[in-house]
Chains A and B, each alone.
Chain A
Amino acid sequence: MRGLRRRVDPLDYAGRVWMRTFFGMVFILLYAPVVLMMAFSFNDSKRNIVWRGFTTKYYEKAWNNDGLIEAFINSLTIAAINTVVATTLGAMVALLLWRFRFPFKSAYEGFMALPIVIPEICMGVAMLAFFSRIGWPTGMPWPLNLSAIIVAHVAFSFPFVAIVVRARMAGFNRELEEASRDLGATEWQTFRHVIFPYMRPGLVAGALLAFTLSLDDFVITFFTSGPETVTFPVKVYSMVRFSVTPEVNAASTVLVVITLIVAALMLRVQRPDHAGAQ
C-alpha cells in the first residue's frame, strides 16, 4: 500500500498536519501575549489577573498620569531624533564603505559593527562610565537633558542602518552612476537623482530599525538616564515593580499602536522596488 501514499516534497511540508500545528504554535507564542496585553488593558480590575468586565478608565488614568506621559514623550522624542541622526550617520557610513577604498577598510567595517555584537549591558556600563568621566552636563532644560540618552542610542543603532543600507547598495549597477555623469550631471545631481532613489528602500528599513530599537531600549537607557529623565520602558519597569495594573497595559497598547502606524506609513513611502538593481 505504500505506493498509494502521496509523496510529500520538501516544499510541501506546509501540507502536513504536524507542520501546521507547529506553525500555529509559533504564531500563538509570538502574538498571544501581545493580544492578551491589549485585551487586559480594558480589564476592570486593579489586580489585573482575572477578567472582571470592560472599561476604558485605565486609558484615562494613564492619560492623567503625568509621570507616564512625560516618559512617553521623552521616549518618542529620543526615538525621533535618534532615527534622524542614526539614519543619516548610518547611510553615510554605508556610502563610505560602498564607494571608497581606503587602508584598513575591513578593520573599520568590523569596528563599525561592534555595537551590534557587544552585549547591551556592557554598552550600558561603558556609556555610564564614559559620560561620568567626561562630565557630561546634567540638569539641562528639556530636551537637552535627553542628549546623553540620544548619544547612546545613536551609538548602538547607526550600525544597523549602515548594514541595511550597505546591503542595498551592493546591488547597485555602477553603470547607472556613470550614465548620469556622462549625461552631464554633477556628482551631487547624480547622488540626488540616481543613487538616492535606489538607496531609499534601505534607508526606510534602516530608519524603522533605528526607531524601534531606540523606542524599546531599556538596558542602555537605564544606565545613561538621570533621575529626572525617565523613558517609557524605564517608567513601565518601575511601575511593574509595584503591580501590573491595566494602566501599564493601556500605555503599552498605545505604544504598540504607534509603532504599527509608523511602520505602516514608512512601508507606504517605500514604493514597489524597481529602482535599479543590476
Chain B
Amino acid sequence: MSIISIRNVTKKFGGITAVDNANIDIAANEFFAVLGPSGCGKTTLLRMLAGFETPTAGEILIDGVDVSAMAPNKRPVNMVFQSYAVFPHMTVLANVGYGLKVTGVPAAETRRRAEEVLELVQLAHLGERKPDQLSGGQRQRVALARALVKRPKVLLLDEPMSALDAKLREQMQLELTRLQEEIGITFVIVTHDQDEALSMADRIAVMQAGRVEQTATPELLYESPNSRFVADFIGKVNLLDGQVTGASDHGVTVEVAHLGKVTVPHAGRAHGQVSLAVRPEKIRMTASRPESSLIVQGRIVDWAYYGDTSHIRVQPDNGPLMSVTVQNETRSTVENGDVGDQVWLSWREEDTLVLDR
C-alpha cells in the first residue's frame, strides 16, 4: 500500500501553473526522490505534502487520509528545510525537543527522546550548544534530528545537500541512506542533483515544467528513459535525429542521415520523426573499422581526462558532434588516441533507444 498518493494534483499561482496534473504513488519505507531543474515545480510539490501550499485541484493522501486541506501541524510528516531553519535562540537540545514540547509531551520524555535522536545523528555531545556555534553539517543534523524525533510517517527533505561542500555531501548521502534503513520510514527528497537522486533513491520522479515526466527506479530512468528530456537530464546522451521507415517484430527501422537505415529493438510504437539515443559510455572507439551496423567515422576534437575515465568528443564526417566516455583501463589508454585522430565509433543495437522528437 502506498503511504503517499498524489492524485491529479495541480497548483496554480495566479496565472502560472507550478504543478500540472501530477500523479505519484510512494510506497511505505521507500526512499523517493523528486528530481528536476530549478523551477520545475518539485519544491511546490513537496510544500503541498508538508501543508504549506494547498492544491488548486486534485488530492493528496497520506496513509489513506486526504490531507489536501489539513494544516501543516496536523500532518504526520516532517520536513528538513533547505536553510535548515534551526531556531537560533534555542540550544540544540531545545531545538530537537521543540516539536514534542509544543504538542504536550512531558518534559522528561521530551528530553529523553531528544537525546536519543541526537545520539542517532551523532550530535549527543553538542546538546547545550547554540546553532551559531555549529558548522553547516552539524546544523543540518540538528534539523534532521528535530524532524525525526516526531516519528513521522514520512520525512520530507528539501534540497538538503545544496549548502554542503562536495566531501560532506557524499558523507551525508551515505548517512541519510543508513538512517533511512535504520529507522525504516519513508523519505521524500527533492533535489536538482541527478547523482544524488541516482545514488540514494529507490525510485525517482523526474519533473519538468510542472509535469511528472517519468517515475521509475534509477536503473530504468537511466537505461530506459521515456522522453528526450529525461534521457538528456539524467546523464549524458548522444541524440541522432531520423525518420521511421518501418517496424517489425525485431524492432523499428530508422533512417538517419549519416548512418543509413538501421534496425534497433524497440518495445513500443514509433513512427515519424524520432531520435536514436545512445549513452557515451556504451560507444566503443576504435582505430580500425569494426563489424557493426551502427558505426560512425569521425575525428577527435577534444579529450577531457578525468583520471578513471576520459570524455572524448568526436566530430563525424557528417552529422552532429558525439560524446564518448572511455574507461582508462590501463595506464597507457591515454596514448591510444589524440585530438585530430581519425576514429571509428560503434555501438550495439540493444544499447540504442528510440525516443520521440
A residues near B (Cβ < 8 Å) are 173, 175-176, 178-186, 189, 193-194, 197-198, 274-278
Q: For B103, what are the chain A residues with a Cβ–Cβ distance below 8 Å?
A: 184-185
Contact B79 A182 (CB under 8 A): yes
Output the least CB separation between B182 and chain A (Å): 21
Among A173, A178, A197, A198, chain B packs the most CB atoms within 10 A around the CB of A178
Q: Which residue of B lies closest to A277 (CB)?
A: B88
Output the least CB separation between A210 and chain B (Å): 24
Question: Looking at chain B, what size class is its interface with the partner chain?
Answer: 20 to 34
Contact A184 B99 (CB under 8 A): yes
Contact A197 B99 (CB under 8 A): no
Is B119 interfacial (CB-CB < 8 Å)? no
- Across the A-B interface, the 9 shortest Cβ-Cβ residue pairs: A183-B99, A179-B85, A175-B85, A185-B102, A276-B88, A181-B72, A184-B103, A275-B89, A197-B89
Output the least CB separation between B90 and chain A (Å): 8
CA distance A13 to B301 in the complex (A): 59
CA distance A258 to B295 in the complex (A): 92
Q: For A173, what are the chain B residues with a Cβ–Cβ distance below 8 Å?
A: 83, 85
Could you say which of B81, B130, B150 contacts A178, with CB atoms under 8 Å apart? B81
Is B266 interfacial (CB-CB < 8 Å)? no
Q: For B87, what are the chain A residues with a Cβ–Cβ distance below 8 Å?
A: 176, 179-180, 193-194, 276
Q: Which residue of B lies closest to A189 (CB)?
A: B102
CA distance A178 to B46 in the complex (A): 13
Q: For A278, what are the chain B residues with a Cβ–Cβ distance below 8 Å?
A: 83
Is B187 interfacial (CB-CB < 8 Å)? no
Output the least CB separation between B49 and chain A (Å): 11
Q: For B50, what are the chain A residues with a Cβ–Cβ distance below 8 Å?
A: 178, 182
Q: For B143, what are the chain A residues with a Cβ–Cβ distance below 8 Å?
A: 179
CA distance A184 to B97 in the complex (A): 11
CA distance A204 to B146 in the complex (A): 30
Is B315 interfacial (CB-CB < 8 Å)? no
Q: For A178, what are the chain B residues with a Cβ–Cβ distance below 8 Å?
A: 50, 52, 72, 79, 81, 85
Contact A274 B102 (CB under 8 A): no
Contact A183 B88 (CB under 8 A): no
Contact A175 B73 (CB under 8 A): no
Known: A182-B73, A198-B89. 20 other contacts (CB 8 A): A175-B81, A176-B85, A178-B79, A179-B79, A179-B85, A179-B87, A179-B146, A181-B73, A182-B50, A182-B78, A183-B146, A184-B73, A184-B99, A185-B73, A185-B98, A185-B99, A186-B73, A274-B89, A274-B131, A278-B83
CA distance A185 to B98 in the complex (A): 9
Q: 10 A-B residue contacts at CB 8 Å?
A: A173-B85, A178-B50, A179-B143, A182-B73, A182-B79, A184-B150, A185-B103, A189-B102, A274-B132, A275-B89
Known: A182-B73, A182-B79, A183-B150. A274 touches B98 (CB 8 A): no
